[in-house]
Structure 1
Amino acid sequence: MPNDEQVHLAAEGFRLHADPTRIKILWAPPQGESSVACLADLVGAAPTAVSQHLAKLRLAGLVRGRREGTFVYYSAADVHVQALLAEALFHADHTDRDLPDHARGDLLPHTGPATQPAT
């Protein structure tokens, strides 16, 4: 059983993922670093809105920013963010298309083979 701090952090991560614009924002940085203006174009939102979303995602440790002059370039904080998002989108695709469930050993998109949990 996870401890209370782990549960709290996981719930906070899910809460921050629970916004369509943030999902789009999180999907773009794993493809490479992106500026606020580029992300705004990609997700179809105003740069100010994207900047506010990025501030929350950065504080939660889901994205990182790298300053270069007056610009900040954002990327996913680590591979776990990308894997969680890929799994959520994979699940959504299967739910949307009413596809069968997969066994734990099947290949997952973007993440490679699923691993068995430690016992």
Structure 2
Amino acid sequence: MNECNVPVCSENCPHQNLIDLAKQNFPTLEEIEELAELYKIFSDNTRLKIICALGKDELCVCDICELLSLNQSTVSHQLRILKSSKLVKYRRQGKQIFYSLDDDHVKGIIFQALDHIREDRSITK
């Protein structure tokens, strides 16, 4: 254990074969920075609620406002951030704008994490 009470190796003996294996798919600095930015987008409760709301099907802005009990200004602001991050897309139908998740990757990221949380909760009960 170290000063943070985290188990650590008691001797310094790097395993070069494991290090080489880890390096094979290790992200570039640019990819790490983009990944950090993506997770910053996910760190906002309102944006996560919007993403979850769009998990089954597209919704118009009015539907999102009603579902989440938020005003249109707040929802529009968050949708703009999600759209600029390529997490949601939209289509126009007359005077209405319908939003949906940009692709299945977005859905996978959020709902796999949610499954993980729910699984942990069921284990501890």
| TM-score, reference length from structure 2 | 0.72
Name stretches of at least 5 consecutive residues in structure 1 with no aligned partner: 101-119
Number of residue pairs aligned between Structure 1 and Structure 2: 99
Shift of 1:98: 6.2
Q: Distance in 1 between matches of 2:33 and 2:96?
A: 33
Deviations 1:30-75 (A, max 9, x none): 3111111101111221121011000000000000011222221100
Task: Kindly report the root-mean-square deviation, in angstroms, between the aligned alpha carbons of the 2 structures.
Answer: 1.6
Taking the TM superposition and a 5 Å limit, the aligned residue runs for 1:1-119 are: 1-95=26-120, 97=121, 99=123
The percentage of aligned residue pairs carrying the same residue is: 31
Q: Distance in 1 between matches of 2:113 and 2:44?
A: 13
Shift of 1:16: 0.7
Name stretches of at least 5 consecutive residues in structure 2 with no aligned partner: 1-25
Q: Distance in 1 between matches of 2:93 and 2:29?
A: 38
Give 4+ residue runs of structure 1 displaced > 3 Å after superposition.
Answer: none
